Amino acid sequence: MSIWGKIAGAGVGLAVGGPLGALIGAVAGHLVVDRALQDNEFIFTMALIALSAKMAKADGEVTMEEVEAFERVMRIPPEEARNVQRVYTIAQQDVAGYEIYARQVARIYRDRPAILEDVLDALFYIAAADGKVTPNEITYLETVADIFGFTELEFSRLKASHLGPDKECPYLILGVTPEITDADLRKAYLRLVRENHPDQMLSRGVPKELVDIANAKLSAINVAYDRIRLERGLVQDLATAP
């Protein structure tokens, strides 16, 4: 079931509170309620809409490519485009700074860092949709990542897996340094494969609309590991996750 048009829990906004709760409350009357949809999926989606809108505002302009990228990420059906645009506009016009939204998302998922990484993955994809990521967008993403609790190395890994130039360094994509041992390299690779597998994403409440991003990121991880494996002369079976 798609999240659009059938949104879970009319009372979710009250339970969440804060700027996300206010945003949910502001649009609740425009969305059909489906009690079967998991609250986590709903909250994740609203968080992504809010942070995407704030990123566009921080950059100073909203390009058609970024809007289309957001629509691709979330697979918004034409009949729901107006409702989603309403949510996006309300979030963009909200006087609350993006840091407040980011801190609330960080608190909600403080024990589930993989979900916080999913949010950053989607934001990177949207930011890069027009063929460039501006300095303001990088600053925005760095700040959100810092609020989420990611280290500089972890942010570099995320950035490298999404932006072309950084792919020249395969170690960054795996979030490791060239000094890492072969055994630890394999562990890091397998951990990333597990965390970014589409089934794992779905199991932690990420909407199925984001699976395409997971597949692209997983492909970048595999390519990076294969390149390092060949450079180090490691055997083929090390590149295959169990």
Among 86, 111, 136, residue at a domain's last position: 111
**Residue 14 forms part of a structural domain:** yes
Judge if 101 and 160 occupy the same domain.
no
| Residue 145: Cβ within 10 Å count | 24
My answer on whether 72 and 173 are in the same domain is: no
- pLDDT tens profile 5-44: 544 444 444 456 777 777 776 665 555 444 443 456 677 7
Quick one: 107 and 156 in the same domain? no
The average pLDDT across 173-182 equals: 92
From 46-50, 70-74, 174-178, the region with the lowest mean pLDDT: 70-74
Answer yes or no: is 18 within a domain.
Answer: yes
pLDDT at 160: 85
pLDDT at 183: 94
Residues 87 and 167 both lie in one domain = no
Taking a C-beta distance cutoff of 8 angstroms, is the pair 2, 206 a contact?
Answer: no
Neighbours of 232 (CB within 10 A): 11
Q: What average pLDDT does the structure give for the chain? A: 78
Same domain, 82 and 159: no
Q: Look at residue 239 in the predicted model and tell me its pLDDT.
A: 44
Contact 175, 154 (CB under 8 A): yes
pLDDT score of 229: 92
| Whether residue 228 has pLDDT greater than 70 | yes
CA dihedral over 61, 104, 199, 150, signed as positive or negative: positive
What band does 64 get if pLDDT is binned at 50, 70 and 90?
confident
- pLDDT-based confidence at residue 123 (cuts at 50, 70, 90): very high
Q: What's the mean pLDDT in 103-129?
A: 89
Does residue 123 sit within a domain? no
Q: In b/e form, how buried is each residue of 103-122, taking b as 16+ CB within 10 angstroms?
A: bbbbebbeeeeebbbbbbbb
Domain, as residue range, for 203: 151-242
d(CA 16, CA 46): 11
User: What pLDDT was estimated at residue 73?
Assistant: 72
State mean pLDDT over 141-156. Answer: 94
Assign 127 a pLDDT band (cuts: 50, 70, 90): confident
- To the question of pTM greater than 0.85 for the whole model, the response is no
In the chain, the number of structural domains is 2
Residues 180 and 98 in one domain: no
In a domain, 116, yes or no: no
87 found inside a domain: yes
